[in-house]
Chain A
Amino acid sequence: MAVVTLIILTNLLFLGLLWAESDSYGPSDIITVLDWPLFFAVGGVISLVVGVVVLVNWLNFSRGGSQVAAALGGTLVQPGTDKPLERRALNIVQELALAANMPVPSLFLLEHELGVNAFAAGTHHTNAVVAITRGALEALNRDELQGVVGHEFSHILNGDMRLSIRLAAMLRGITFIGDLGSILLRIGSHRHHFQSRKKDDGRAAMLALGLGLYLIGLLGGLMAGLIKSAISKQKEYLADASSVQFTRNPDGIGNALKIIGGHANGTFVESARAEEMSHLFFGQVRHRLWSGFATHPPIEQRIRRIDPRWDGKFLPANVDSGVMSSEAEKHADKNDMALRAGIAGFASADVATVLPRNANNTAEMASPAANAALLNETTDPLGAMALLLGMLWNPQHEEPQWQAIEVAGIKGLDDLVRRWCEPLRTQTPSENLIIIERSIPALRGLSPEQYRVFRNLLETWIDADGKTVLQEWCLFQLVCHYLDPELINSHAPRLRHKTLDAVSKDLAITLGALAHLTEEDTERAFRRGAEILSLTMTLPEADAIVMTAFTQSVDELAACYPLLKVTILKAMASVAADDGKISGSELTLIKAIAAVMDCPAPDNLLAAYGIGDGSLAEDLVDPPGSNGLK
């Protein structure tokens, strides 16, 4: 309907144009001047082209749900899967198929999408599919996921998919008129230099036509967008209500919406084609400046319609459900959750899981009494600052260091540092790592201003001798990457690199630095890492790895896409493990790099890499006199 109107509008535009032209010849008799056959020919061609575009898109969209899901990057979840979370999702789909009394649709997983979202696709409920993002799989518990899937089932049952597919095809046809207009405009202005005066009139007509078409397309797009948004929003409310009807559990979808509202990635989906399919999804795919164009109502309104007594508080995602953690360990390479949780997530989840294990390690430390005192100090912000500074103490260049502490003027800090810096010198790298990790939660208690002073102090202490060594770099990165996002407004780097090839030079430097820490064959360790990455790289000389280049390289790696980072971490783990164990200094370096890369899950990764939890814990204690970080 909308398309037909637009075609008529286009034809009217032609009429107007031709009339305007005839006007310049004389207004007497329009009919004779008008070239009717030409008019109909042009009108017909335009109608035909738009019709073909609509048809092609329609056919394209209605190929059945599985193709649509595949186009958006989904993979079929195999019915026999043994991964607990996928198993659970499959069960939920089967349950709801019973509740909705319809055939069981296939389930697709958008493995790379970290936002909490889901969609249904297909023209009919026999070829329908349901797809959920990895974010939804992991952030929602059973009941909540059930609510979300129930919402999608409503879309299937209500025929929303057919409607939206038609809508999408129509929309393409409408915007195509606009595209045509802009093409004409461009051609018209380009030929400016080549055309003779004689054809000037033709050029003007073409420009006018282009402009007219462009405006019609713009108007049509605008109207279509508004209509689509209005229809889509109503459908969403209906689907939310149907979800409650299927599950008889308003808390399921209600809590799911509340989690989405508080989720870092929200419901946003990265896939480029998601935009065309935005109305199929559970939640908004892209951010909209004006809600008039949004395909989904605001989360708050959706929650209020389901739970009118909602207190306005969002819920945290379920990161520590039992099923979740067991899968995270088993399939650490898919640990997107941890990747996504990033630094902020580390705060709540990872430290909690890291600490108990490290606490066990304390028993194995060389002098338990001294270490107990050190670890006790980490619980207090002042003590934690003192310990971290103490690690950076440099007897040869201590003058500027003590001066900086005086300037900073943190009361009692210098005494504490003086007290601990001697005992800290005897610590092994792995013991230092434990102290660093345990200090971070305490430092979280600092005010932003205090933290800034402390951060500056750290930098001054590191620069006291005019150079930065690897150990200092690790300490600084570990502290800053966990605390910066909370205490000072820092933002994550924009992700640029989609392939490992793009960062192969940086990988060589990073892996090289790790390989030089190995106790056996450096070359072999390096090659092992290169194999994991399936890149051919040459091992840089130890002298060639300078700190500035190394820092830059790690920053580049941080701009890789999340799944590449997992591979990179794996490669690093394999380099470090080449000599049969991961030493404290290797572990510190890996953890620091992981912190810069925003993926604080190396424990799981290392465990998954065949270095069992037990052996890792033993390796944490370096043999005395090991060279450690230079």
Chain B
Amino acid sequence: MDTTTIISLAVVALLLGWAVVIYNQLVALSNRYQNGFAQIEVQLKRRYDLIPNLVETTKGYLLHERETLEAVVNARNAAASALDALGGSINAEGIQTLSGAENALGAALGKFSVVMEAYPDLKASANVQQLNEELASTENRVAFARQGFNDAVMSYNTYRQSFPNLLIANRFGHTEDAQLLEFDDSEQIQEAPKISFT
């Protein structure tokens, strides 16, 4: 073997190694944003599980507020089924339904919190306080999970579109940009429905 062969073989090996590294990075980034979406689901489910508890705990105090309670429960059920319908896939239509249901739920919870203001006994209840904390935490988690998802999508897209990564990505199954989670009125969703007792 002369030196030219050795050099060209080495160059080919280097290029191949490089391609492998880029491909693996693409896989890692794509898995990361998919996991990000799964995280949002987990947090939304957590929230849907908490709401019945809150309703159950406050029912005793809020005998005359049936309507408000029912509205919260209905909105929660609608959102939960929208999430189920989505089934873990990231499609625009399903997300649209989900975001509508989430908005309704947020509004219902907001009204619920106004109603609770009128019951000072509720304020003292350690149970309600704890649920309130859990709910506040869950709202944050939903928001952060969405942030995390969008950040992961962005870094995946950026990496995929860069040169020379683009060449590898287009040949080996990473042909499309991932979609960012954009709700119509994201302003309102970012704003966690606050149940304040002050």
Using a CB–CB distance below 8 Å, which chain A residues touch chain B? 84, 87-88, 91-92, 94-96, 98-101, 142, 146, 246, 248, 322-323, 326
> A101 with B148: in contact, given A92-B137, A95-B137, A95-B141 (CB under 8 Å)?
yes
Residue from A84, A98, A246 within 8 A of B145 (CB atoms): A98
Q: Is there contact, CB below 8 Å, between B147 and A248?
A: yes
By secondary structure, the B interface counts as helix
Binds A, one of B18-26, B78-86, B100-108, B123-131: B123-131
Q: Is there contact, CB below 8 Å, between A99 and B129?
A: no
The 6 closest A-B pairs by CB, nearest first: A99-B144, A91-B137, A98-B144, A95-B140, A101-B148, A95-B141
Report the Cα distance A91→B139, complex, angstroms: 11
Q: Is there contact, CB below 8 Å, between B197 and A87?
A: no
Q: Is there contact, CB below 8 Å, between B152 and A101?
A: yes
Q: Is there contact, CB below 8 Å, between A101 and B36?
A: yes
28 A-B pairs with C-beta separation under 8 A: A84-B126, A84-B129, A84-B130, A87-B130, A88-B133, A91-B134, A92-B137, A94-B141, A95-B137, A95-B141, A95-B144, A98-B39, A98-B144, A98-B145, A98-B148, A99-B144, A99-B147, A99-B148, A101-B32, A101-B148, A101-B151, A101-B152, A142-B136, A248-B147, A322-B198, A323-B129, A326-B126, A326-B129
Please give me the residue from chain B that is nearest to A248 by CB atom: B147
**Extra inter-chain contacts (5) besides given A91-B137, A322-B129, CB under 8 Å:** A91-B133, A94-B141, A95-B137, A246-B144, A323-B129
Q: Does B43 contact A (CB under 8 A)?
A: yes
Scoring A142, A146, A246, A322 by chain B CB atoms within 10 A of each residue's CB, the highest score goes to A322
Residues on A with beta carbons closer than 8 Å to the beta carbon of B198: 322
Residues on A with beta carbons closer than 8 Å to the beta carbon of B130: 84, 87
Report the Cα distance A146→B137, complex, angstroms: 11
Please give me the residue from chain A that is nearest to B197 by CB atom: A322
Residues on B with beta carbons closer than 8 Å to the beta carbon of A146: 140
Report the Cα distance A532→B141, complex, angstroms: 44
Report the Cα distance A359→B141, complex, angstroms: 44
Please give me the residue from chain A that is nearest to B137 by CB atom: A91
Residues on B with beta carbons closer than 8 Å to the beta carbon of A94: 137, 141
Scoring B32, B126, B141, B144 by chain A CB atoms within 10 A of each residue's CB, the highest score goes to B144
Min CB–CB distance A270 → chain B (angstroms): 30
In the complex, chain B residues 39-53 whose Cβ is within 8 Å of any chain A Cβ: 39, 43
Please give me the residue from chain B that is nearest to A100 by CB atom: B148
Please give me the residue from chain B that is nearest to A95 by CB atom: B140
Residues on A with beta carbons closer than 8 Å to the beta carbon of B129: 84, 322-323, 326
Residues on A with beta carbons closer than 8 Å to the beta carbon of B43: 98
Residues on A with beta carbons closer than 8 Å to the beta carbon of B197: 322
Min CB–CB distance B159 → chain A (angstroms): 15
Report the Cα distance A96→B151, complex, angstroms: 14
Residues on A with beta carbons closer than 8 Å to the beta carbon of B141: 94-95, 98
How many residues belonging to B are interface residues under a CB distance threshold of 8 Å?
23
Report the Cα distance A330→B29, complex, angstroms: 47
Residues on A with beta carbons closer than 8 Å to the beta carbon of B151: 101
Report the Cα distance A326→B197, complex, angstroms: 14
Please give me the residue from chain A that is nearest to B155 by CB atom: A101
Residues on A with beta carbons closer than 8 Å to the beta carbon of B32: 101
By secondary structure, the A interface counts as helix
Report the Cα distance A98→B129, complex, angstroms: 23
Report the Cα distance A246→B147, complex, angstroms: 8
What sequence of 0s and 1s flags, for each residue 95-125 of chain B, a beta carbon within 8 Å of any chain A beta carbon? 0000000000000000000000000000100
Q: Is there contact, CB below 8 Å, between A96 and B133?
A: no
> A96 with B144: in contact, given A101-B152, A322-B129 (CB under 8 Å)?
yes
Please give me the residue from chain A that is nearest to B139 by CB atom: A95
Residues on B with beta carbons closer than 8 Å to the beta carbon of A142: 136
Please give me the residue from chain B that is nearest to A323 by CB atom: B129
Report the Cα distance A99→B126, complex, angstroms: 28
Report the Cα distance A92→B134, complex, angstroms: 10
Min CB–CB distance B148 → chain A (angstroms): 5
Report the Cα distance A248→B136, complex, angstroms: 16
Report the Cα distance A409→B32, complex, angstroms: 80
Min CB–CB distance A116 → chain B (angstroms): 21
Residues on B with beta carbons closer than 8 Å to the beta carbon of A323: 129, 133
Report the Cα distance A350→B140, complex, angstroms: 33
Report the Cα distance A84→B151, complex, angstroms: 32
Min CB–CB distance A520 → chain B (angstroms): 36
Q: Is there contact, CB below 8 Å, between B133 and A84?
A: yes
Please give me the residue from chain A that is nearest to B149 by CB atom: A101
Please give me the residue from chain B that is nearest to A87 by CB atom: B133
Report the Cα distance A96→B147, complex, angstroms: 11
Report the Cα distance A323→B131, complex, angstroms: 12
Report the Cα distance A100→B140, complex, angstroms: 13
Residues on A with beta carbons closer than 8 Å to the beta carbon of B147: 99, 248
Report the Cα distance A100→B145, complex, angstroms: 9
Please give me the residue from chain B that is nearest to A91 by CB atom: B137
Residues on B with beta carbons closer than 8 Å to the beta carbon of A99: 144, 147-148
Report the Cα distance A326→B133, complex, angstroms: 13
Report the Cα distance A162→B94, complex, angstroms: 44
Please give me the residue from chain A that is nearest to B140 by CB atom: A95
Report the Cα distance A87→B131, complex, angstroms: 11
Residues on A with beta carbons closer than 8 Å to the beta carbon of B126: 84, 326
Residues on B with beta carbons closer than 8 Å to the beta carbon of A92: 137
Residues on B with beta carbons closer than 8 Å to the beta carbon of A246: 144
Residues on B with beta carbons closer than 8 Å to the beta carbon of A98: 39, 43, 141, 144-145, 148
Min CB–CB distance A151 → chain B (angstroms): 16
Min CB–CB distance B103 → chain A (angstroms): 20
Min CB–CB distance B191 → chain A (angstroms): 12
Report the Cα distance A323→B126, complex, angstroms: 9
What sequence of 0s and 1s flags, for each residue 31-66 of chain B, a beta carbon within 8 Å of any chain A beta carbon? 010001001000100000000000000000000000
In the complex, chain B residues 139-198 whose Cβ is within 8 Å of any chain A Cβ: 140-141, 143-145, 147-148, 151-152, 197-198
Min CB–CB distance A225 → chain B (angstroms): 37
Residues on B with beta carbons closer than 8 Å to the beta carbon of A101: 32, 36, 148, 151-152
Please give me the residue from chain B that is nearest to A88 by CB atom: B133
Scoring A84, A95, A246 by chain B CB atoms within 10 A of each residue's CB, the highest score goes to A95
Min CB–CB distance B46 → chain A (angstroms): 11
Scoring B43, B134, B137 by chain A CB atoms within 10 A of each residue's CB, the highest score goes to B137
Please give me the residue from chain A that is nearest to B147 by CB atom: A99
Report the Cα distance A326→B123, complex, angstroms: 11
Min CB–CB distance B82 → chain A (angstroms): 21
Q: Is there contact, CB below 8 Å, between B133 and A322?
A: no
Residues on B with beta carbons closer than 8 Å to the beta carbon of A95: 137, 140-141, 144
Min CB–CB distance A254 → chain B (angstroms): 18
Report the Cα distance A98→B46, complex, angstroms: 14
Report the Cα distance A101→B152, complex, angstroms: 9
Min CB–CB distance B51 → chain A (angstroms): 17
Min CB–CB distance B166 → chain A (angstroms): 24
